[in-house]
Amino acid sequence: MAGRTRTGVWSGGRGRLATGAALAALLMAAATACGGDGKDGKGSAAGGVRGALDRVADTPDTRAWFTYADLAGLRAANGDAGRLGPYAQIAGLAEDWKFADRLPPVYGFDPRDADRTWTAGTAPKQATVLSGGLKLSVVEERLAAAKAAREHTASAGTQWRTAPDYQISLETAAVPEALAAFNVVRVDGATLVHGGGAAEVAAADTGKGKTLGDAEPYTSLAACLGDVLAAEIAGPRPDGGGAAPIAVGFRGAKGRPVTQVLCLPGSSAQNLDRVREFFAPEHRLKNGMPWGEAVSDIGVEAVGGAVRVTAVGRNDRFRIFDQALQQGEFAELTTAAGGP
């Protein structure tokens, strides 16, 4: 997909490309969602990351990559800073940010107006959920006008198809930058789900069967992250290779610095000691910079079945945990993960 390609989530020759999860500085400055058909009514009893994971089916593809953003919370945290503020720049974990400006004239919605969003899987076997804050009746009108086909689905709501599963046609696509991301679109109440295929759309917002919220270590990682404004979880490849899942999140509020959160599965004493050693102020990243120069207020603790690291980036390094994840900085820590 267009935009920066995610690389280095798995290092040591594992080299998976998770296309289309790039960070971008495109969050609107509004303090609350604009428009909408009502509040987000699709969440489970739990909110935040855990609530989203409770909606995502547990499959090899969804285990590989998951991102979450509390867009309403990020807008409030960013306040008057607009697109220049730090919270705007972490909001781009949302998949649709790369082509957000192209979507209103074509599909009748701006993803930046949603209350929250999450994405599961890697393109093209990937789907994105946008919940709350959108006028979805307009979206269906646009799909019908474009002669998208309505199709039967076991899920609630209305499902539309604009192209066969995983097909990419730059010549005929309404938004070429989105590639296969809108081949299947489902509208259900205040929620819109779109993705490369019907199976992915169903998996991203299933609400039934076994979900990632039920599966370890994802349950422990969600509890470790806690109340975050945005997060990403990188897991093993669909073929079963790769590292243990690892999570990065961002906390904060208006007028406060961004607190970065890293969560690793396994809270054994050995694992805890190894993480503390890795984040010692004198320990250097691959670029030679000591952690003590990159971040401040480093904290390491065991939380349930995970180890949690928190830190505040120095200067403008409020995304350094995300960048370190992409560059494979944490690979040695995932191999050290032990039992609780």
Residue 156: pLDDT band (50, 70, 90) is confident
Judged against a pLDDT cut of 70, whether residue 313 lies above it is answered with: yes
* Over residues 223-238, mean pLDDT: 94
Domain covering 214-335, topology: Gyrase A; domain 2 (3.30.1360)
Cα 332 to its chain centre, rounded Å, is 23
Judged against a pLDDT cut of 80, whether residue 46 lies above it is answered with: no
- Looking at residue 252, its amino acid is G
User: For 322, how many CA atoms within 13 A lie in the half-sphere containing its CB?
Assistant: 23
Q: Which residue has the higher pLDDT, 89 or 53?
A: 53
pLDDT of residue 152: 84
3-17, 29-43, 180-194, 240-254: which has the highest mean pLDDT? 180-194
pLDDT of residue 44: 34
Mean pLDDT is lowest, of 12-21, 48-57, 98-107, 118-127, for 12-21
* Over residues 181-208, mean pLDDT: 93
pLDDT of residue 333: 87
Judged against a pLDDT cut of 50, whether residue 20 lies above it is answered with: no
Rounded to a whole number of angstroms, the CA Rg of the chain reads: 19
* Over residues 29-45, mean pLDDT: 32
CATH 3.30.1360 in the chain: give the residue spans: 214-335
Judged against a pLDDT cut of 60, whether residue 75 lies above it is answered with: yes
Judged against a pLDDT cut of 70, whether residue 32 lies above it is answered with: no
CA–CA separation, 86 and 283 (whole Å): 26
Residue 80: pLDDT band (50, 70, 90) is confident
Average pLDDT, the chain: 82
pLDDT of residue 240: 75
pLDDT of residue 201: 96
pLDDT of residue 83: 61
Q: What is the DSSP string of 307-330?
A: EEEEEEESTT-TTHHHHHHHTTTT
* Over residues 213-238, mean pLDDT: 95
* Residue 294 DSSP SS3: helix
Q: Which residue has the higher pLDDT, 314 or 42?
A: 314
> CB count, 10 Å around CB of 286?
10
Residue 93: pLDDT band (50, 70, 90) is low
* pLDDT tens figures, 128-155: 999 999 999 999 999 999 999 999 877 7
Alpha helices in the chain (DSSP H): 48-53, 60-64, 71-78, 86-90, 103-107, 136-145, 198-204, 218-225, 269-278, 291-294, 320-326, 331-335
CA–CA separation, 104 and 172 (whole Å): 18
Residue 238: pLDDT band (50, 70, 90) is confident
pTM of the model: 0.84
Instruction: Kindly provide the residue ranges of all beta strands, DSSP E only, lying in 110-240, ordered along the sequence.
Output: 116-122, 125-131, 149-151, 158-161, 184-188, 191-195, 230-234
* DSSP classification of residue 243: P
Judged against a pLDDT cut of 80, whether residue 213 lies above it is answered with: yes
pLDDT of residue 82: 65
Q: How many helices (H) and strands (E) does the chain have?
A: 12, 12
Q: Which residue has the higher pLDDT, 241 or 58?
A: 58
* Over residues 61-80, mean pLDDT: 91
* pLDDT tens figures, 162-184: 999 999 877 777 888 888 899 99
Largest CA distance in the chain: 60
* Over residues 294-316, mean pLDDT: 94
Count the residues in the chain: 340
* Over residues 258-264, mean pLDDT: 96
